[in-house]
Amino acid sequence: MAFLKAQQLLAFGVLFLSACTVTHELSPTSLSPVGTPIPAATLRTGASGAWSPAVTNGGSANLKGTVVNAKTTISVSGVTIAALDTVWGGREVTVDLGVYLSTDFGPNGSMSLVAEAQGYPYEGGVYPVLTSFSVLEAGTGITYEYVNLTSQCASQGMYICSGGVCEENTNCGPVPGQSGFFNRADWDEHQIPAYGYASTNLFPRCDHSVNGWSACPSTLSNLKAGHYYAKYILLADNDTAAGKTVGLTVTKIVKRDTAVRNTGSTNGGINVNVVLVGDSNINASHTVKGQQNLNLLMSEVNSILIAGAKVGINSIHTYEWTNANGGDQYSSVSYDQLGVLFASGSMGVSSSDEGNYINVFLVSDIAFPGSSFTILGLSGGILGPPLNGLLTSGLAFATFDELGVFNASCSPTTPTDACARNSLQADFLEMGATIAHELGHYLGLNHPSERTDGTSAQRHDQLTDTPTCAPRVDSITGSFDLDQLSCYQDSTAQPSSSTSCSSACDAAIGGGNHYLNILSTVNSTPIYYCPAVNECEFNHLMWYTTKNRALLSGAWHEDGNLISPQASAVVQWGPFVR
């Protein structure tokens, strides 16, 4: 079996207790298709004393009132499998997605595609890679291609394999400036997921009209009236499966949204399933203190999302995965078992929740095998599927069994008692920031900057209004680090203002317009950070490290409070936002 060389692990939405970069080789974390199917979890609702979530938006939901999702599954049989490094010739399959009018989408509508191979009886698995998403426009006969890959993908293959390890063919990828995908990494993360084999794609992916989104072709900013098609190639990570045939299912979710994007006081809201995993978390949630903390936690997440993306939490369903029903094996869960957790747990929620509620699993802790790292939270993917039962169908967060003891200085009489934010613990607020961050991933957002495996090379997201940040060389270890100091030291003129982070931060400090006297220490060097300065990347919610937080003069001051206009546009296209 060939193993893909892993992309930076943090790109898949992991937030660590320690702000370090981890890279290694990953094999897919799904069960073998010939093994025992993943069973649906038995989840409990309505138990005596269970947490009943308080309304988080002050009594009114952030509903647009204009969103309708329509789901259809298309099946194709007899699709020929290719090896990871196979030339594609004649092996792509075309899927007819149907004819749509502009009114079927509205000005903010979208189409999501979740593809899975069916009946794969070999070791390993097969990835349905989306190679084309196009529309033959009604009335003009013009074909618009939203993927637009280089010709070398078909003529040379997607990967180059040697000695059982496959690395990307650097000649294969989206054509710069002619695709909804920004680059190869942007395309890859939707086709070759961290968990399992199902691919999830959503269009449109960019909007030329939003805040100078110059990397986005103006012709691909919306979905047009016409006949839609998708093309896939099935790539197996087991070479012996090449040439065999299997089935392919493509689940299509068409979102009709008549609201104009990125305007008004609200851009809609999301619904959340909170699944309490293991008796420790469940028992804590049955106490007045635990319920107060859960209400405060979801209120904190809601506030962060509304402040940045104007997208709040509309509704919360509560589920309990007791130890008696198998929850103990996932309450302290290993990173490599999270895919099974997501698949099993998501199948246990109500069928009416599918595509309407995002599954959030609260576990005791998440261990990273062979490492001392503890993972704070993780998203099943960057753009989570609006389907349950997949290895990407959820997010997981570690409570460290403190739901019932957080914020001891705030004693509740009832579960809904308010608590001043400056009395909340920093670790508790960290958990809220982590959940908001990972929800950003699930709704399609990347980290603004990434560094690649142990080098100074870097990747940036496709958004031109999120600042870029170059890694610095650590004076002690010699490693390349992305942190607050590296961003401050980066002299790059940011596209939003042609000003660097350090210049903008220093000007803000000198002008006295921000809460400026907060210090962070990196290698014993005190530095300022400027939470209200857009040019500083670590001000962004999607900055991947833990968030700086300091209690000064009775109030918390912190970074990680911004979602840019372009990032907000990405979030709104998702089928979960309505």
Q: Sketch the domain layout of the chain as residue ranges.
A: 41-62+264-442, 67-257, 454-562
- From the list 13, 10, 28, the residue with the least C-alpha distance to 395 is 13
pLDDT at position 121, please?
Answer: 82
Q: Please say if the pLDDT value at position 578 is more than 50.
A: yes
What's the one-letter identity of residue 359? Answer: N
Determine contact, residues 509/551, Cβ cutoff 8 Å.
no
Compute the chain's Rg from CA coordinates: 23
Q: Which two tokens stand for residue 135?
A: 């529309």
Question: pLDDT tens, 303-362?
Answer: 988 887 788 899 999 999 999 999 999 999 999 899 999 999 999 999 999 999 999 999
* Mean pLDDT value of segment 535-544: 83
Determine contact, residues 107/258, Cβ cutoff 8 Å.
yes
SS3 116: strand
DSSP 277: E
- From the list 113, 354, 59, the residue with the least C-alpha distance to 249 is 113
CA distance 455 to 8: 11
Confidence of residue 536 (pLDDT cuts 50, 70, 90): confident
CA distance 99 to 186: 28
Bridge-partner residues for 255, per DSSP?
Answer: 69, 110
Hunting for tokens 């789901």 — which residue is that?
A: 71
Q: Please say if the pLDDT value at position 555 is more than 60.
A: yes
DSSP 423: G
Q: Please say if the pLDDT value at position 423 is more than 60.
A: yes
* Mean pLDDT value of segment 405-419: 92
SS3 554: coil
Q: Please say if the pLDDT value at position 95 is more than 50.
A: yes
Determine contact, residues 271/302, Cβ cutoff 8 Å.
no
Confidence of residue 450 (pLDDT cuts 50, 70, 90): confident
Confidence of residue 449 (pLDDT cuts 50, 70, 90): confident
pLDDT at position 155, please?
Answer: 94
Out of 4-18, 448-462, 527-541, least confident range: 4-18
Four-way CATH pick for 41-62+264-442: 3.40.1350, 3.30.160, 2.30.29, 3.40.390: 3.40.390
User: Which residues does 107 contact at the CB level (< 8 Å), separation at least 6?
Assistant: 222, 257, 258, 259, 260, 261
CA distance 127 to 193: 9
User: CB neighbours (10 Å) of residue 170?
Assistant: 9
Question: pLDDT tens, 164-222?
Answer: 888 999 999 999 889 999 899 899 999 998 888 999 999 999 998 887 787 789 999 99
User: Which residues does 60 contact at the CB level (< 8 Å), separation at least 6?
Assistant: none
Confidence of residue 55 (pLDDT cuts 50, 70, 90): low
Backbone angles phi and psi of 456, in degrees to 5: -85, -5
- From the list 577, 572, 494, the residue with the least C-alpha distance to 205 is 572
* Mean pLDDT value of segment 139-153: 97
Determine contact, residues 186/174, Cβ cutoff 8 Å.
yes
CA distance 487 to 226: 45
CA distance 271 to 362: 16
